[in-house]
Amino acid sequence: MAASVSRIPIRITISEKGTANGDVFKHFAPRTVNDFLRSLPLQGRVNHANSFVYMTSKLIVGGEKRRTAFSRNEMAFLPLNGSICIFLMESKVERPMNPIGRITSGMEVLDTVTQGDVMEIQELANA
C-alpha cells in the first residue's frame, strides 16, 4: 500500500527478535505525529508496564486528543515522560496518552519483548 498524507508506514525492529510494521496517522494527533516523524529513527531500551511496552524518547509534546482507553496493537505517546507506548492488550490507563498509530503486522514479535531489549523505530520510505 502506498502512504497517504495522513497514514505513514513505520517499522519497529527488536534486536535479535524480529520486526513489526505499523502505521502512524497524522489525524490522530497532528502535532505529536509530526514531531515523532521528525525524530525518527528512534532507538532505545524497552520497558514494560502492565499492558504495554514502551521506550522513552526525547520528544517534548503536550497533550493532544488524549485518551485513557486503548486496544491491542495501538501506539500512543505519553507526554508525561516522552514515551512511545505499544499496547499488548486492551487496557485503560491512568495517565491520558496521545494516540499516534497502530501495529499492522508482527505483533507476535512485540509479545516476546523483554525488559532491556533494544527497539528501533523507523519510517518506511516509499512503502
What sign does the CA torsion over 89, 91, 93, 97 have?
Answer: positive
The torsion defined by the Cα of 43, 47, 53 and 54, in degrees rounded to 10, comes to -50
In the chain, the domains with their CATH numbers are 7-123 (2.40.100.20)
Q: Which set of grid coordinates corresponds to residue 79? A: 507526554
List all residues 6 or more positions away from 125 whose beta carbon is below 8 Å from its beta carbon: none
Per residue in 81-121, pLDDT tens?
Answer: 999 999 999 999 999 999 999 999 999 999 999 999 999 99
Q: Which set of grid coordinates corresponds to residue 68? A: 485513557
List all residues 6 or more positions away from 38 whose beta carbon is below 8 Å from its beta carbon: none
Prediction pTM value: 0.93
